[in-house]
Amino acid sequence: MVNNIDKHINSSGLKVGRRQVLGGIGLGAAALVTGFPSIVRAKPATMTVPNSGGALEEAFKVAYFEPFQKKTGIQILGAPYMDTARVKAMVENNAVDVDILNIDATEAAALARLGLLEPIDYGVVDKSNLLPEAAQEFYTLVDVAAYVMAWNTNTFNAETRPKDWTAFFDPEKVEGQRSLWKLAPQTLEVAAMGGGQPRDKLYPIDLDLAFKSLDRIKPDLTWWTSGAQGAQLVIGGEVDVGTVWNGRVYKPKNDGAPVDYTFDHALYVSDAMVVPKGAKNKKEAMELLATMVEAQNQATFSKAIPYGPVNTKAFELLDAKTLATLPNSPENSKTAVFQNFDYWADKGPEVFDRFNAWLLG
């Protein structure tokens, strides 16, 4: 089945053709039986779910897509990630050819503001055990990852590394080359905490504090633009300490690479699932989302990739070894803070402008 899925992923023309052919067959059969084809809708044979690919898609397959296919007979086809601009163009041009998609939660919040999403049907999706941040009107979070501090173990150890973001952004207290993600979201949050903004009062972000923090480390700063690059900068020793997403350094650390990281003062970030307005298989999309937030399936997901569940009952199904790897396990969540997705939906454009101006200054 994996080979078939991959074949479809790499051939968007085949996906569209298959959907159109199957739809035509279903409609023709219904017309012969009932004489009223317009009121009969066949269950789709496949659904298309754009996502981030890689290890995340493999975890989605094992934890969610395969159980959903066993339950419904509907095969899930992956597709390349769609950002905000692509979703907006697709909906506004009445050309929606995907069913439900995986997208960064800040982008999901922005799409909701623009009125481009179907509301989540919480009569189908059980939100009774979801984290408070997870069940939004137009999107649902499906995991919890973390933007964390990592360090090269040839330079620092757990005792000598910066103990918090204040130390990270203070080159007089801790010497060394730093790295950050070259994007305003996440980076400005940790920079504000580095300037002294309390994590429980992080929004609205004190931008003056954040940019003062960036000013302090500018001579010692290396930017990264992809998760792989962020991890490699620390692992390869090009920087002594930097920010990464926990999933990017989990395996290298376990494989013996000179890298370690901490969940202390982490910023939680999430994948969300959204249904674009006009999606043809909305009912089945809600059923897939319901499958994705079931406790057992969430636990399976967290065993496959070190991202935490949004269903709190899933923690009861995980052993201590797995819990130690998850950003939002009870042990690791004591000093972390959730990103505020609505803040970025509301303030994103003006904050991006100021961030880009600082980069050019």
Scan for tokens 């429980």, then name that residue: 200
Token couple for 263: 């969940």
Q: DSSP letter at 126?
A: -
pTM recorded for the entire structure: 0.85
Q: By C-alpha distance, which of 30, 32, 33 is closest to 43?
A: 30
Bridge partners, residue 79, by sequence: 50
SS3 of residue 209 by DSSP: helix
pLDDT value of position 177? 98
Cβ distance 23 to 7 under 8 Å?
no
Cβ distance 301 to 63 under 8 Å?
yes
Question: Residue 36: exposed, middle, or buried by beta-carbon count in 10 A (0-12, 13-18, 19+)?
Answer: exposed
pLDDT value of position 41? 67
Residues sharing a CB contact under 8 Å with residue 252, sequence separation 6 or more, in sequence order: 231, 235, 259
Q: What are phi and psi of 3, to 5 degrees?
A: -65, -40
pLDDT value of position 43? 87
Q: DSSP letter at 188?
A: H
pLDDT tens for the chain, 361 residues: list them: 333 333 333 333 323 332 333 233 333 333 333 344 444 568 899 999 999 888 899 999 999 999 999 999 999 999 999 999 999 999 999 999 999 999 999 999 999 999 999 999 999 999 999 999 999 999 999 999 999 999 999 999 999 999 999 999 999 999 999 999 999 999 999 999 999 999 999 999 999 999 999 999 999 999 999 999 999 999 999 999 999 999 999 999 999 999 999 999 999 999 999 999 999 999 999 999 999 999 999 999 999 999 999 999 999 999 999 999 999 999 999 999 999 999 999 999 999 999 999 999 8
Distances (CA, A) of 24 to 4, 35, 295: 22, 15, 37
pLDDT value of position 347? 95
pLDDT value of position 40? 53
